Amino acid sequence: MCAVEFFLSNEYPGDSGTWNAIDFFLKKRGPFLPSQDRMYLKGLRDSHMSLYEVIDVKLNQSLTLRDLLEENQPLITLKEKRGTHFICQWDLVGARVVKTPIAHLLAGGNLLLSRDAANEAKEVIHQITKVMMSKKNLRFFQEETKDPVLMIKKMWVKEIAQAWFMEQMQKRQEPTLFNYDGDKLQFYTIEFPLKGSLTEVVKILNKLPELKPHDLEDVAHAWIWPLKERKDVSRRHKQKPKQEKIREVFIDTHVDYEDGRSYRLFAELKIKGKKLIIDVNSEQRANMSEDFFQTHLTSLAGKPIRIQHDLKRASEETNLSSNELTLGLSMEEEEQLKEQFFDRHYREWIDSPLPALKGKTPRAAAKTKTGLQHVIDLIKDMVNAELRAVKQGSKSSPYNFDWLFAELGIQRHLL
């Protein structure tokens, strides 16, 4: 959409001077359009993308923006409905404001940037604009367009889109998960139907040197299969390029015993009813477990059934079920507990040294002009994350940071 709007608003050289797609369209079809559509298209033609900070959001009504590239401009209040459902206060967006005689409107192409990406784009745009706005260049551009300043501003979209695109490309992909052996992480449950005497099965399993009896709630017979330590486990991982390592995560499962020893797990076993149930975390371990117990249990166990668990689906189901759990408290009491937790957390945060503030605490950093702006930006981002969580449905209400601004002596007009 940003590319389409750039094409529509831009000017192009022609045989008889420059031409514009919207002017061409209005000349052919303008008389058949409603007046509001004609006004919007003319406003889009004369618009340019800029970087804005969202100051206020009124649901189904309006957005208030601060221009970060032209800082001397007054705040802009836009008539907007749909955008208020996904844009949050303190968002940083590359956006195109369409000015019409009736109202200011938000065009369709919007790019959401992080604060770092927005600051990088802002710095590059200021450097380029300073060169382009020189008298020599402006005289040259006057031969190409009626409004050279607007033409230069229309080029800002390229840097904003570049910053947005690079940030999207650099976003961390979902990592590939591996177990301690270096096998791709995938959970399996293997169920052996038991044919013979349960006592005989337990006796055989207790004698196997690979297994160790394990206490498990509501299960009479359970074991763990401790994993033997290996020195060459991560050799393949260490040989991979740095960018590939970032996408790999090695997961390890330990069981701590009362004797103080900790065991890495190869597998977990339990007998439930007339089944021997084995849980492992890779296809390779599932294959080894099937072969191992078919060999040792022979006629005491039937053909195993293997169940593969979908990690993504399991995660979604866990999140879904966790939302339904309650603490046995009323909704008001739960909200009060959460509020108390966040209060404690941020009261500690305010006096904790932060790498983002070069090792200073927010309270100390707020005493200098530069440090104060960094602290304000940090809190804005925290407020923004809370509001976004509410709009995405993962929270019912945002945490109120007003006390934090007051504690640091940050006046609202500084925001």
Instruction: Look up residue 86 and give its two tokens.
Output: 């996904």
DSSP summary character for residue 184 = B
Task: Quote helix, strand, coil % in the chain, to nearest 5.
Answer: 45, 20, 30
* Separation of alpha carbons 151 and 141, rounded Å: 8
Do residue 135 and residue 261 come from a single domain? no
Do residue 158 and residue 68 come from a single domain? yes
* Separation of alpha carbons 174 and 194, rounded Å: 40
Q: Which of 155, 170, 185 is a domain's end point?
A: 170
Do residue 164 and residue 193 come from a single domain? no
pLDDT of 242 reads 46
pLDDT higher than 60, residue 164 = yes
Do residue 26 and residue 131 come from a single domain? yes
321 within a domain of the structure (yes/no):
no
* Cβ-Cβ contacts under 8 Å for 110 (sequence gap 6 or more): 2, 83, 87, 93, 94, 95, 96
Do residue 20 and residue 158 come from a single domain? yes
| More confidently predicted of 317 and 86 | 86
Question: How confident is the prediction for the chain on average, in pLDDT?
Answer: 84
**Number of domains into which the chain is organized:** 3
pLDDT of 364 reads 93
317 within a domain of the structure (yes/no):
no
Q: What is this structure's pTM?
A: 0.63
Three-state DSSP class for residue 105: strand
State which amino acid sits at residue 240.
K
pLDDT higher than 50, residue 233 = no
316 within a domain of the structure (yes/no):
no
Three-state DSSP class for residue 146: coil
Do residue 339 and residue 403 come from a single domain? yes
pLDDT higher than 90, residue 321 = no
Q: Decide if 47 contacts 105 (C-beta within 8 A).
A: no
Encode pLDDT of 284-293 as tens digits.
999 999 999 9
Q: Which of 285, 311, 337 is a domain's end point?
A: 311
Mean pLDDT of 295-322: 68
Among residues 45, 132, 56, the alpha carbon closest in space to that of 96 is found at: 45
* Cβ-Cβ contacts under 8 Å for 296 (sequence gap 6 or more): 204, 208
**C-alpha dist (Å) from residue 232 to 38, 41, 243, 254:** 70, 65, 21, 19
Q: Decide if 178 contacts 249 (C-beta within 8 A).
A: yes
Mean pLDDT of 145-158: 89
320 within a domain of the structure (yes/no):
no
92 within a domain of the structure (yes/no):
yes
Q: What is the domain extent for residue 241?
A: 177-311
Do residue 17 and residue 159 come from a single domain? yes
pLDDT of 317 reads 42
85: exposed, middle or buried (C-beta count within 10 Å: 0-12, 13-18, 19+)? exposed
What are the φ and ψ backbone dihedral angles of 269, each rounded to 5 degrees?
-130, 150
Do residue 203 and residue 164 come from a single domain? no
Do residue 27 and residue 119 come from a single domain? yes
Encode pLDDT of 137-150 as tens digits.
888 877 778 888 89
Q: Decide if 36 contacts 21 (C-beta within 8 A).
A: no
Do residue 305 and residue 339 come from a single domain? no
Encode pLDDT of 255-278 as tens digits.
776 667 777 889 999 998 889 999
pLDDT of 219 reads 81
pLDDT level of residue 16 (50, 70, 90 thresholds): confident
pLDDT level of residue 235 (50, 70, 90 thresholds): very low
pLDDT of 415 reads 76
Do residue 270 and residue 404 come from a single domain? no
Q: How many residues does the chain have?
A: 415
318 within a domain of the structure (yes/no):
no
Do residue 31 and residue 163 come from a single domain? yes
* Separation of alpha carbons 231 and 235, rounded Å: 9
